Amino acid sequence: MKTEIHTRHTLSVLVENASGVLSQVSRLFSRKGYNIESLAVGTTDDPAVSRITIEVMGDDAMMEQLMNQLRKQFSVYSVQELLPQRSIRRELVMFKVKAETSDVRNEIVQIANVFRASIIDVSIKSLTIALIGDESKAEAMQNLLETFGILELVRTGMVALERGAYTISDDNKETTEFNLGKSVL
Amino acid sequence: MRMTCAQIIMECLLEQGVDTVFGYPGGTILNVYDEMELHGYKDKIRHILTAHEQGACHAADGYARSTGKVGVCFSTSGPGATNLTTGIATAYMDSSPVVCITCNVSENLIGKDSFQEVDITGITMPITKCNFLVRSPEELADVIREAFAIARSGRPGPVLIDIPKNITAAAVDYEPLPVEQHAAHGRLAAMLRRSSHDLKTPEPDFGDIDRLLDMIAKAKRPLVLVGGGVIRSKGAVPQFRKFAETLNAPVASTIMGGGALPGDHPLFTGMIGMHGSHASNLASAECDLLIAIGCRFSDRVATVPDDFAKQAQIVQIDIDRSEIDKNVKTHHHIIGDARRVLQLLNEKLPDHDYPQWKQWVFSHPEVPLKKDGILHPHEILETIQALTDGEAIIATDVGQHQMWSAQYYHFSRPGQLVTSGGFGTMGFGLGAAIGAKLGNPDKPVVLCTGDGSFRMNCNELATLSHYRIPVIIALFDNHTLGMVRQWQHLIYGERYSQTDLDYAPDFVKLSEAYGIPGERCVSQAELEKAMARALESKGPYFLQCDIDKDAMVHPMVSAGTPVTEFLLD
Ligand SMILES: Cc1ncc(C[n+]2csc(CCOP(=O)(O)OP(=O)(O)O)c2C)c(N)n1
Ligand SMILES: [Mg+2]
């Protein structure tokens, strides 16, 4: 067996907004035995098109193949790997924290302020905080909140974009090469 | 025109020029079958009722492989649809254009584990190029048009359309549309408006072509490796032959590339890989430039990917970008339709010759062919070759007989070898031969099958007999699962676990029970006479060819060892 170096890869995939497409995309990962670390889907400026951001650990050669196989699907319009140094990644994390006294509530609000997180729900016994950031920020916040008792935590999954004016739809030689496989005439 | 979706299906098939459909009816597809009688579509489209849906799918596949047109099959929901799946996977692995129309339970029953309900679009997602679940009657015609376009374009492949029964009954407006106009309408037009789904086939990159020409200019020992891509690409074979002859270098072939170069061509080194010839396998290790066209370096070809052609600059020409570097790391690639790439290469390629290299490649002795009175596998193929003037389409099943067919028959045109190369589906042959014959009524079709494979789907004898389809069956009867036995003999200490088939039925009587004349042959002389009678009969015919149980496919390389290390010479 060759030793493979597994690193985190962030893929952005533009797809047809239709049923079945998500399982088609995720199937390609499970087939290779990759566990998806994070996945976020939503429509784009064009309601007929969705954008999927997928994070997965894998070695470079396998990722290349996966991207190639993704690009080949008819419901996939384009695939881009977002390199860490050239892209911005964010996710939204909601923490529901135990807060039964006003002292605790104040303390949590202060922590939230430091992280520029917002309080989005308050009850007599709890506070819910929404934080936007990358995983290091979320982790730091989580460590602090754990001392109060986290009741529930949920994340949207990472979304990411390339820095600068480039977009996922910009043409390059690779795109043309893939168009050939999808040409229907 | 207002009509039911069931009728629209038939109209859309006519738009596509479909003349034959293979299928099997059932509850959910009744509306569609009713159209054949109700509006007389049975007079315009011939429906072949097979014995089993798997046979229908293999027949559509055999039709597609041997004609280059899209094969079509119908099945009902649930078990009908799942019976298609082996056939769909077989077509998928060998890039064969097949459109399967399954009907499903009515929409109000979907998701309720209703009688004969199955999520066939989910099941076939990994084995179709694309599939559709039709959810509105208005989109049906469009979906069918898109399905055919996708099945036959680019790298061809199977497409499945699942239509709930209530939709087949719904009536909507239908406007006939000639095929040439499909791309300008509806879903196809919308798809093609996206830059990622170009309307026209993009041209190969001219810089890439020039770079290959440079590499050729520097090469001293080039080898061409031809795969199924050249067979699938329309009009590629003449361009390929011109390329090979101008380059004047040795040409090896994968099993799927059979027919790209005539089997007796002086440049042809034979099949490569696990059962490749000495010339092909040794040349692959010695060449300094390997030009692979339309082949994907499967593990049966590049048995050790890192070791394959390791002295060579490897150039891969393929229409499917995702094949590049998938199995074998390449030094250069050209993306394009094989015909067009070869045409562009031919425009600039000067005449070459490599006398010393060729002399070396062809100096390796191949396996001597025995002639001693008892019937040998190569003699069966020689007989077919001789009595059909090499014109016969050969369909095969899977096993030793398949390898012998690929090795000893001289294929001279694309589509002449109909075999399950990628999926290795035992039971493929009889259905595929039926499809091939119906698609090529003026060509003799011979099924080369094994006793194991034949028993898997011999139910299609009923189809052969009912429609009097003149397929000649040559059963290589070695009373064993020969290919598995060969591995057991060579690798498993002659422990023949579960591979004896001595309890086989009397195959001649079996075919006679279906009304198909049959004969048993134990020598080449007998076979020649029987084959002549078979051809003369102009109907289905069965020939049982008794061969030695211990006959082996030579040469052989074990899985996972380099192609130059022959386990068996
Ligand atoms: C559906 C299926 N099951 C099992 C196999 C594994 N297999 C490959 S070759 C072979 C033996 C085929 O026997 P037969 O058809 O008699 O051909 P022979 O090798 O004897 O010529 C088997 C079992 C297969 N390829 N396909
Ligand atoms: Mg056998």
CATH of the domain at A45: 3.30.70.260
Pairing mode of beta strands A7-16, A76-82: antiparallel
What is the C-alpha R_g of chain A?
20
Say if ligand 1 is within 6 A of residue B480 CB: yes
Last residue in a domain, options A81, A111, A145:
A81
- E-state strands within B8-156: 20-23, 46-49, 71-75, 98-104, 130-133
Give B262's DSSP letter: -
Same domain, A56 and A101: no
Write out chain B residues lying below 8 Å of A73, CB-based. Answer: 130
Query: Domain for residue A1, yes or no?
Result: no
pLDDT in tens, B532-561: 999 999 999 999 999 999 999 999 999 999
Residue A51 has pLDDT above 50, yes or no: yes
Mean pLDDT of the region B53-59: 98
Residue B426 has pLDDT above 80, yes or no: yes
> A43 in contact with B at a CB cutoff of 8 Å?
no
Tell me which residue of B451, B378, B435, B445 sits closest to B409, measured CA to CA.
B378
**What CATH number is given for B2-195 in this structure?**
3.40.50.970
- Residue B358: how many other CB atoms lie within 10 Å: 19
Mean pLDDT of the region B58-64: 98
Residue B30 has pLDDT above 90, yes or no: yes
pLDDT of residue A101: 95
Q: CATH classification of B206-361, choosing from 3.40.50.40, 3.40.640.10, 3.40.50.1220, 3.40.50.300?
A: 3.40.50.1220
- Mean of all residue pLDDT scores within chain B: 96
Task: Kindly list the domain boundaries of chain B, sorted by start residue.
Answer: 2-195, 206-361, 377-546
Instruction: Return the residue matching tokens 């002549």.
Output: B532
Contact B193, B131 (CB under 8 A): no
> B325 in contact with A at a CB cutoff of 8 Å?
yes
Mean pLDDT of the region B516-524: 97
Domain hosting A72: range is: 7-81
- How confident is residue B76, by pLDDT bands cut at 50, 70 and 90? very high
pLDDT in tens, B87-143: 999 999 999 999 999 999 999 999 999 999 999 999 999 999 999 999 999 999 999
Same domain, A74 and A139: no
Query: Domain for residue A178, yes or no?
Result: no
pLDDT of residue A28: 93
What was the ipTM of the complex prediction?
0.89
Contact B173, B37 (CB under 8 A): no
Query: Domain for residue A184, yes or no?
Result: no
pLDDT of residue A171: 62
Q: What percent of chain A has pLDDT over 90?
A: 69
Q: Could you give phi then psi for residue B347, rounded to 5 degrees?
A: -60, -30
Tell me which residue of B543, B528, B547 sits closest to B375, measured CA to CA.
B547
Contact B445, B472 (CB under 8 A): yes
Rounded distance from Cα B274 to ligand 2 centre (Å): 19
Q: How far apart are CA B296 and CA A128, in angstroms?
A: 54
- How confident is residue A154, by pLDDT bands cut at 50, 70 and 90? very high
Closest protein CA for atom 2 of ligand 1: B426
pLDDT in tens, B439-459: 999 999 999 999 999 999 999
pLDDT of residue B193: 73
Tell me which residue of B98, B127, B338 sits closest to B242, measured CA to CA.
B338
> B188 in contact with A at a CB cutoff of 8 Å?
yes
What is the widest separation between alpha-carbon atoms in chain A? 69
State in Å, rounded, how far the first CA of chain A is from the last one: 43
Q: How far apart are CA A75 and CA A77, in angstroms?
A: 6
pLDDT in tens, A63-86: 888 999 999 898 898 899 999 899
Same domain, A118 and A95: yes
Same domain, A18 and A65: yes
Task: Identify which of B375, B453, B458 to mutate to test ligand 1's pocket (most ligand atoms within 8 A of the CB).
Answer: B453
Same domain, A68 and A113: no
Q: Could you give phi then psi for residue B521, rounded to 5 degrees?
A: -125, 135
Answer whether A24 sits within 8 Å of B336, measured CB to CB. Answer: no
Q: CATH classification of B377-546, choosing from 3.40.50.970, 1.10.4190.10, 3.20.190.10, 3.40.630.10?
A: 3.40.50.970
pLDDT of residue B192: 73
Provide the number of structural domains found in chain A: 2
Q: Catalytic amino acids of B?
A: 53, 115-116, 165, 483
pLDDT of residue B186: 84
Answer whether A180 sits within 8 Å of B133, measured CB to CB. Answer: no
Say if ligand 1 is within 6 A of residue B486 CB: no
Same domain, A117 and A147: yes
Q: How far apart are CA A112 and CA A119, in angstroms?
A: 7
- How confident is residue A166, by pLDDT bands cut at 50, 70 and 90? confident
- Residue B311: how many other CB atoms lie within 10 Å: 12
Q: How far apart are CA B251 and CA B329, in angstroms?
A: 20
Kindly tell me the sign of the dihedral angle through the C-alpha atoms of A45, A49, A55, A60: negative
Query: Domain for residue A183, yes or no?
Result: no
pLDDT in tens, B174-226: 999 999 999 888 888 877 777 555 555 668 999 999 999 999 999 999 999 99
pLDDT of residue A1: 42
- The distance of Cα A124 from the centroid of its chain, to the nearest Å, equals 33
Chain B residue with Cα closest to A15: B196
Same domain, A65 and A119: no
> B202 in contact with A at a CB cutoff of 8 Å?
yes
The CATH number of whichever domain residue A119 belongs to comes to: 3.30.70.1150
- How confident is residue B436, by pLDDT bands cut at 50, 70 and 90? very high
Query: Domain for residue A185, yes or no?
Result: no
pLDDT in tens, B472-509: 999 999 999 999 999 999 999 999 999 999 987 999 99
Same domain, A58 and A99: no
Residue B69 has pLDDT above 70, yes or no: yes
Same domain, A54 and A104: no
Mean pLDDT of the region B264-272: 97
Say if ligand 1 is within 6 A of residue B86 CB: no
pLDDT of residue A174: 67
Give B29's DSSP letter: G
Tell me which residue of B150, B156, B326 sits closest to B236, measured CA to CA.
B156
Query: Domain for residue A164, yes or no?
Result: no
Query: Domain for residue A182, yes or no?
Result: no
